[in-house]
A and B are shown apart, each in its own frame.
Chain A
């Protein structure tokens, strides 16, 4: 089939590019550079030739592992840079010196890079370990200091007797006999431990200690105000300091063990306040020392990180590209006899010569006797679909691609969407003012596109930037339909003189009279504010929606012909296209003719009221000979149904009988052609995957019957529903104009706003106008615009595409050294 692919001299969007399957023979030593260059060219989509080799048994898996290691190191750098206190500026990729990954020295450069990374990694991890152990020590000291400071409150609250004893000598002597009861000295008369623990876990610890010591304890705690660093996780947490008093070293040691197991830490505290103060001083001194050391460690670490940050983007980029290259290399087959790699891939026919030139250039650069060369294959496999778009058509094409990828070389609805999409949008969005706003929003994006493209955009702006031409066209078309509806911010423009004048003596409700003129373009401004304006507009827009819809669908239906001719299905024109067209036109085409006829007749001059289209089929006299025409059309329409239903299955059955009549079957000419062309080295798998991609004629006859029946029923029903669906053009346009009218009336149009005088009035007017403008842009243009956009998209996807679009293609994804999906 690709043999007769449509190939035009210039790229066209009418159908997808002609593709051919190419086989590239690459000398092993040039494989890397070749793939890099092809990746920059972006014209070949490589096919996996090792489908039955599991990922870790492929040739370049060792390289990939190495790259994974390097990637891990770089990722570690990035997280260290992000974690460091104080920002470290990372040099962006654009400003970094490029890292060339091709050429004779590339291998060596890359090895050097690996060594550099390892050195940095070793150095950084050493510094980090140092830094972390120091800061852990510091955190511990800080914790002890806080514990000492905060525990002062606890000790003062407790009024411990021994401290009282100590400060006054006479009492001590008096209590001598008391002391003899206790074998220990006063300091240990009351035993205690002190410690700190996560504030949330304190209640648990308290309960636990209570049970563990069977209630023989006194526990006091207070919160440490400043947050401390948890040694285990590195997070800052709030802690409590507590003191547990109890008897006996056994109990206390158990309490100590329990505290430690619960994640608390024991702080050595002394009962004597002076000793505590001395300890505090000592700790303060050590903290200062540590902080000085820590500071110098941190600054060396920072300077190391700064060196890394200087080139980390380059490294990330290099590793990413190398990974893509080696993944591509893994798709290739290795030919042992000739020491070459064999790659296969799809390439647009237009670009084959460019690919050849690139390959030759690679060979010349390498100063090698053999350069990689490219060989075209003939195949029956279905090629991928590739629409060559530019910055203008890209937006429209991506709207249609979002529905489904077109089959290879079928008519591309994206081409027509360039005009029909903004037009259908504008029919619903028709307002000069809103159109101007929309166009003005897109205009700077278009005018400064080169500059904007260089910026890194965030996710909200990117879609607008990609669709800038779509938005611009939508705006311009809306201005056009706005003129037709004569609608600007719900007001009208009196460009030409109106065809109606008010009678001179009227008051209150007056009936305008014609003055014989016809308003030359669009809607007569006299309708604005008229009592029957809505009735008139509804009738006009509803009928217009039907006419536009039928025209759009008829056009879409005609696109079938090209597909039928293109895919050698000539009979489908008679069995599918023709009955569908007749059915559709004899019912809905006739309706449109009647609408246009009704508009074209001056019913006042004819001297009777205009007939209702609703009753047309039943009794209304419209034009002479109406009955005969209508009955004929109806008969044609009904006759088309069995035609659609039976003709195609019958033809297929007839063909089959002719083929199966003789006892042998005809060889598929394409298939034999391939076999002749293939070289001896092609392995068996080639044939195995050619079969499922092939034409697949062997569908059961009942399948065909059922499929055709469903298709027929669906088409007949969808004619009605799709035509009705185009009424959304009327509904949306009406809703839009009503919304903007209501907004005007509630803000600027209010009597109180318009008539307010003085400075306050001016300020009030300014505020109201600003508010009105804000709501107009935010609500009417953006939100309403988005909803209208979705409706226009639906009309294209469902109503129009249903008539011709097959959408069974696979998108063409050329190998390139940049990827959208960053899953590595």
Chain B
């Protein structure tokens, strides 16, 4: 059925997004980027891609952050263009995409305020897609209760935040708990929303969101090893969706070391390789998170690419945002490598196409 009526409301936008997708940098273009000697070369090389002359008006000493900002700005413009012509339920779906950025911004601001950073500097670092009207006022709040009562109560994040109210004071650990609780609630809510959409959207988004949830679960488990976070608290932070849920989650909640985490993930075939290779590559022992994180990104890119194989579904919008974010990370990585003359590590980005 969705094939019959999908195009009435979202066909145009799907076409736009698929058009945007063809502009994502290819392997050959990355190869060209990697040959660059200076950031000026990078500017020349990027102007031959879909980015066009987005850096043309920047003065000569180009900084990596400028490149990242401008690239993000392009993505934001594209997203806003799509959002402005979307109708329900796609507009709701797109709103859900922005909630993720809002959570990041909220956590960023709280952390920044806690460490007494400059408010304006913090606001500049916020992701433009996660911007909401009362966001700057977050800097005023001093405890969780106040945070919720004064600022967040009228944002879409309010229902997610309700569960965090037990946390009393704002310190680094609590902020981390808040972040993860918010994300847990967000993912579950987004997942539930995608279930209501039905059809291929549900299939595609369930796949992507399940992985997202599992990734968070594993990350929490790995990062909480050896911290003062109790196992009950840890279990509460795990999203109740994903392919590891419920038994994998249970095992992860009880895990005491990396081997037990690995054992917990055995249940899902695709996740086995995350730990196998990280051990063999040598850097796994002490800092397993670094190698793990990259593998997560690779899998995420793979899943998001799969989303484009199906038509008549909203997954492409989500997938495009994620792929483009990865691309911006890649470009920034390459630019950093050029700027810091660490050419040997330049190849460590995650290719998309």
A residues in contact (CB < 8 Å) with B: 54-57, 61, 65, 68-69, 72, 75-76, 201, 204, 207-208, 211-212, 254, 257-258, 261-263
Residues of B within 8 A of A68 (CB): 56
Knowing A72-B56, A261-B139, A262-B136, the reply to whether A61 touches B150 (Cβ < 8 A) is no
B139 touches A211 (CB 8 A): no
B residues in contact (CB < 8 Å) with A: 32, 35-37, 40-41, 44-45, 48, 56-57, 59-60, 119, 133-134, 136-140, 149-151, 153-154
Knowing A261-B137, A263-B136, the reply to whether A54 touches B32 (Cβ < 8 A) is yes
A55 touches B48 (CB 8 A): yes
Residues of B within 8 A of A262 (CB): 134, 136-137
Residues of B within 8 A of A211 (CB): 149-151, 153
> A208-B134, A262-B136 known; 12 other A-B pairs, CB under 8 Å?
A54-B45, A56-B35, A68-B56, A69-B60, A207-B154, A208-B151, A211-B150, A212-B137, A254-B140, A258-B137, A261-B137, A262-B134
Knowing A54-B32, A201-B133, the reply to whether A258 touches B45 (Cβ < 8 A) is no
For the complex of A and B, 10 pairs with smallest distance between CB atoms:
A261-B136, A56-B41, A56-B44, A211-B150, A212-B150, A257-B140, A204-B133, A258-B140, A258-B137, A261-B137
17 contacts between A and B (CB under 8 A): A54-B32, A54-B35, A56-B36, A65-B40, A65-B44, A72-B57, A72-B59, A204-B133, A204-B134, A208-B137, A208-B150, A208-B151, A258-B140, A261-B136, A261-B140, A262-B134, A263-B136
Residues of B within 8 A of A61 (CB): 44
* A262 CA to B150 CA, complexed, in Å: 13
Residues of B within 8 A of A208 (CB): 134, 137, 150-151
* A685 CA to B328 CA, complexed, in Å: 36
A55 touches B45 (CB 8 A): yes
Residues of B within 8 A of A254 (CB): 140
Residues of B within 8 A of A56 (CB): 35-37, 40-41, 44-45
Closest chain B CB from A736 CB (angstroms): 38
Residues of A within 8 A of B138 (CB): 261
Which one of A55, A69, A75 contacts B44 once the chains associate, using CB atoms below 8 Å? Answer: A55
Closest chain B CB from A146 CB (angstroms): 24
Q: Which residue in chain B gives the minimum CB-CB distance to A55?
A: B44
Q: Which residue in chain B gives the minimum CB-CB distance to A200?
A: B133
* A429 CA to B234 CA, complexed, in Å: 84
Residues of B within 8 A of A65 (CB): 40, 44
Residues of B within 8 A of A76 (CB): 57
Closest chain A CB from B103 CB (angstroms): 19
* A55 CA to B119 CA, complexed, in Å: 43
Closest chain B CB from A666 CB (angstroms): 39
* A208 CA to B155 CA, complexed, in Å: 12
Which one of A54, A72, A204, A261 contacts B119 once the chains associate, using CB atoms below 8 Å? Answer: A261
Closest chain B CB from A120 CB (angstroms): 15
* A691 CA to B281 CA, complexed, in Å: 47
Q: Which residue in chain A gives the minimum CB-CB distance to B36?
A: A56
* A212 CA to B153 CA, complexed, in Å: 12
Residues of B within 8 A of A263 (CB): 136
Residues of A within 8 A of B150 (CB): 208, 211-212
* A56 CA to B43 CA, complexed, in Å: 10
Closest chain A CB from B290 CB (angstroms): 32
* A75 CA to B153 CA, complexed, in Å: 47
Residues of A within 8 A of B134 (CB): 204, 208, 262
* A674 CA to B137 CA, complexed, in Å: 77
Q: Which residue in chain B gives the minimum CB-CB distance to A65?
A: B40
Residues of A within 8 A of B137 (CB): 208, 212, 258, 261-262
Closest chain A CB from B338 CB (angstroms): 12
Q: Which residue in chain B gives the minimum CB-CB distance to A57?
A: B35
Residues of B within 8 A of A75 (CB): 57
Q: Which residue in chain B gives the minimum CB-CB distance to A253?
A: B140
Residues of A within 8 A of B40 (CB): 56, 65
Q: Which residue in chain A gives the minimum CB-CB distance to B123?
A: A261
Closest chain A CB from B346 CB (angstroms): 16
A212 touches B140 (CB 8 A): yes
* A262 CA to B131 CA, complexed, in Å: 12
Closest chain B CB from A779 CB (angstroms): 34
Residues of A within 8 A of B149 (CB): 211
Residues of A within 8 A of B41 (CB): 56
* A204 CA to B155 CA, complexed, in Å: 12
Closest chain B CB from A198 CB (angstroms): 11
Residues of B within 8 A of A212 (CB): 137, 140, 150
Residues of A within 8 A of B119 (CB): 261
* A208 CA to B135 CA, complexed, in Å: 11
Q: Which residue in chain A gives the minimum CB-CB distance to B60?
A: A69
* A212 CA to B134 CA, complexed, in Å: 12
Closest chain A CB from B100 CB (angstroms): 23
Residues of B within 8 A of A57 (CB): 35
* A686 CA to B154 CA, complexed, in Å: 69
Q: Which residue in chain A gives the minimum CB-CB distance to B141?
A: A212
Residues of A within 8 A of B57 (CB): 72, 75-76
Q: Which residue in chain A gives the minimum CB-CB distance to B136?
A: A261
* A65 CA to B62 CA, complexed, in Å: 13
Q: Which residue in chain B gives the minimum CB-CB distance to A824?
A: B53
* A263 CA to B136 CA, complexed, in Å: 8
Q: Which residue in chain B gives the minimum CB-CB distance to A73?
A: B59
Max chain B C-beta neighbours (<10 A), residue from A55, A56, A76, A263: A56
Closest chain B CB from A41 CB (angstroms): 29
Q: Which residue in chain A gives the minimum CB-CB distance to B146?
A: A212
Closest chain A CB from B66 CB (angstroms): 14
Residues of A within 8 A of B44 (CB): 55-56, 61, 65
Max chain B C-beta neighbours (<10 A), residue from A69, A208, A211, A261: A261
Q: Which residue in chain B gives the minimum CB-CB distance to A210?
A: B150
* A747 CA to B104 CA, complexed, in Å: 72
Closest chain B CB from A240 CB (angstroms): 16
Residues of B within 8 A of A258 (CB): 137, 140
Residues of B within 8 A of A257 (CB): 139-140
Closest chain A CB from B108 CB (angstroms): 14
Q: Which residue in chain B gives the minimum CB-CB distance to A261?
A: B136
Residues of A within 8 A of B45 (CB): 54-56
Q: Which residue in chain B gives the minimum CB-CB distance to A121?
A: B59
Residues of A within 8 A of B56 (CB): 68, 72
* A394 CA to B32 CA, complexed, in Å: 42
* A201 CA to B132 CA, complexed, in Å: 12
* A254 CA to B45 CA, complexed, in Å: 49
Closest chain A CB from B137 CB (angstroms): 5
Residues of A within 8 A of B59 (CB): 72
Max chain A C-beta neighbours (<10 A), residue from B133, B136, B137, B154: B137
* A211 CA to B140 CA, complexed, in Å: 12
Closest chain A CB from B307 CB (angstroms): 32
Q: Which residue in chain A gives the minimum CB-CB distance to B42?
A: A56
* A208 CA to B56 CA, complexed, in Å: 41
* A57 CA to B138 CA, complexed, in Å: 49
Residues of A within 8 A of B151 (CB): 208, 211
* A823 CA to B136 CA, complexed, in Å: 40
Q: Which residue in chain B gives the minimum CB-CB distance to A257?
A: B140
* A261 CA to B139 CA, complexed, in Å: 8
Q: Which residue in chain A gives the minimum CB-CB distance to B58?
A: A72
* A532 CA to B28 CA, complexed, in Å: 73
Closest chain B CB from A54 CB (angstroms): 6
Max chain A C-beta neighbours (<10 A), residue from B35, B41, B56, B134: B134
Closest chain B CB from A298 CB (angstroms): 24
* A56 CA to B44 CA, complexed, in Å: 7
Residues of B within 8 A of A207 (CB): 154
Closest chain A CB from B27 CB (angstroms): 15
Closest chain A CB from B276 CB (angstroms): 38
Residues of B within 8 A of A55 (CB): 44-45, 48
* A382 CA to B282 CA, complexed, in Å: 57
* A55 CA to B47 CA, complexed, in Å: 11
* A201 CA to B135 CA, complexed, in Å: 12
* A813 CA to B45 CA, complexed, in Å: 25
* A254 CA to B41 CA, complexed, in Å: 49
* A313 CA to B191 CA, complexed, in Å: 58
* A726 CA to B149 CA, complexed, in Å: 78
